[in-house]
Copies of this chain bind each other. A is one copy, B any other.
Amino acid sequence: MNYFSSNFKLGILGGGQLGKMLLFDTRKFDIQTYVLDPSEEAPCKIACNHFFQGDLMDFETVYNFGKQVDVLTFEIELVNLEALEKLENEGKKVYPSPKTLKLIQNKGIQKNFYLEHNIPTAPAKTFKNLKKLVVEIVESKLEMPFVWKCTEFGYDGNGVKIIRSLQDVENLPNVECIAEEMVPFKNELAVIVCRNPSGEIKTYPVVEMEFHPEANQVEYVICPARIDEKVAEKARAIALEVSKKFNHVGLLAVEMFQTQDDEILVNEVAPRPHNSGHYSIEASYTSQFENHLRAILDLPLGNTDSKVAGIMVNLSGAEGFSGDVIYENIETILGWNGVTPHIYGKKQTRPFRKMGHVTIVNEDINVARKIAEDVKNTIRVISK
């Protein structure tokens, strides 16, 4: 297959920031792209060859979009699965496969997949709805505290809640959910795995999510994780095992917990470029986006090693600001060593909206960490 400056067509479902960063690599390789997104102001609207506005959850829209391309991928999991299945059944190349997506889209199914395949994970139980869960609490069959997760349509911490008392359950939606045992952990880690249809597999180094000591929010994604070499090896091996079990094509971001006694438990996976891999644009020999592209086109995978240490800070909309965005003090941080802001191209900010990220690279991870803290304390996403 000739992909480069040819009539080959790559379709991408979703036109957000992940798609936007993927388009850097399709343009670098001059691969023709078709993008579908519901928003007329999607970050992918420029830099793709053909943009289509439409509902990603609508069967007809996704099916008709997919019919016209040669390979179809997605940058968001919330897409119409039935359309992907029909396209794949008709012989269209859909990567990752809807079979993989089906195992991941629903957190109950995903959790059972780990349990069935002996992949270390926190014990959990699935409930058809909230009422059934409440019954078990009342009957003392379910011990508190535990982590409640809705099985579908949750993202970025939405749809996840720690339940310490019956009161905490009160305002939750009455949907299918899981109750997961709370595991005290030292670190939240992630490993991105890429795999192409020929079966070539590579893992990126283990990254560490550093949390704010009080706010319990991820502040920094740090590569490499500042953990024991043996723990890192174990995390990479488990991520590889998960990847093999899913038999996916493309990227698989595997989020994990490092427990107090250095066990690794798989939390959840995402079958696409992932926030925890954004550092790779500046720090790695091959970025996660380029490797996703290489993988779904069955090209050889690129080197996943790092040139330098990398730290990522998310740029989210500050509380109390809504409207036309201003990146306060961005000029200041641009003056610092190894600092690269990525602005996703959303015109309007809202509290907590993901507006961009900043990567800090340095030969010395401790220097990078210091600069990252300065970045975090300096730039602010506000409105006019």
CB distance from A344 to the nearest CB of B (A): 7
- Determine, out of A118-126, A154-162, A221-229, A294-302, the stretch whose residues face the partner at the interface: A294-302
A27-B20, A285-B361, A343-B30 in contact; A338/B303 too (CB < 8 A)?
Answer: yes
Tell me the residues in window 310-354 of chain A with beta carbons closer than 8 Å to chain B beta carbons: 324-327, 330-331, 334-335, 337-338, 340-347
Give Cα distance in the complex from A48 to B47, angstroms.
7
Q: Determine if A46 is an interface residue (Cβ-Cβ < 8 Å).
A: yes
Which residues 1-38 in A have Cβ within 8 Å of B in the complex? 2, 4-6, 20, 23-24, 27-30
B5–A347 contact, CB under 8 A?
A: yes
Q: How large is the interface on A (under 10, 10 to 19, 20 to 34, 35 or more residues)?
A: 35 or more
Expressed in whole angstroms, the minimum distance between the Cβ of A298 and any Cβ of chain B is 9
A361 to B303, CA, bound (A): 11
CB of A308 within 8 Å of the partner chain:
yes
Contacts A47-B46, A307-B307: A30 and B344 contacting too (C-beta < 8 A)?
yes
Instruction: Verify if A49 is at the interface (C-beta below 8 Å from B).
Output: yes
Contact check, A300 vs B341: say whether CB atoms are below 8 A apart.
Answer: no
Residues of A within 8 A of B (CB): 2, 4-6, 20, 23-24, 27-30, 46-49, 285-286, 290, 294, 299-300, 302-303, 307-308, 324-327, 330-331, 334-335, 337-338, 340-347, 361
The list of the 4 closest CB pairs from A to B, nearest first, reads: A300-B335, A30-B343, A47-B47, A30-B345
- What are 30 inter-chain pairs, A to B, with CB distance below 8 A? A2-B326, A2-B327, A4-B327, A4-B330, A4-B341, A5-B325, A5-B327, A5-B345, A5-B346, A5-B347, A6-B324, A20-B27, A24-B28, A27-B345, A28-B341, A29-B341, A30-B344, A46-B46, A46-B48, A47-B47, A285-B361, A286-B340, A299-B334, A300-B331, A300-B334, A302-B340, A303-B337, A303-B338, A307-B307, A307-B361
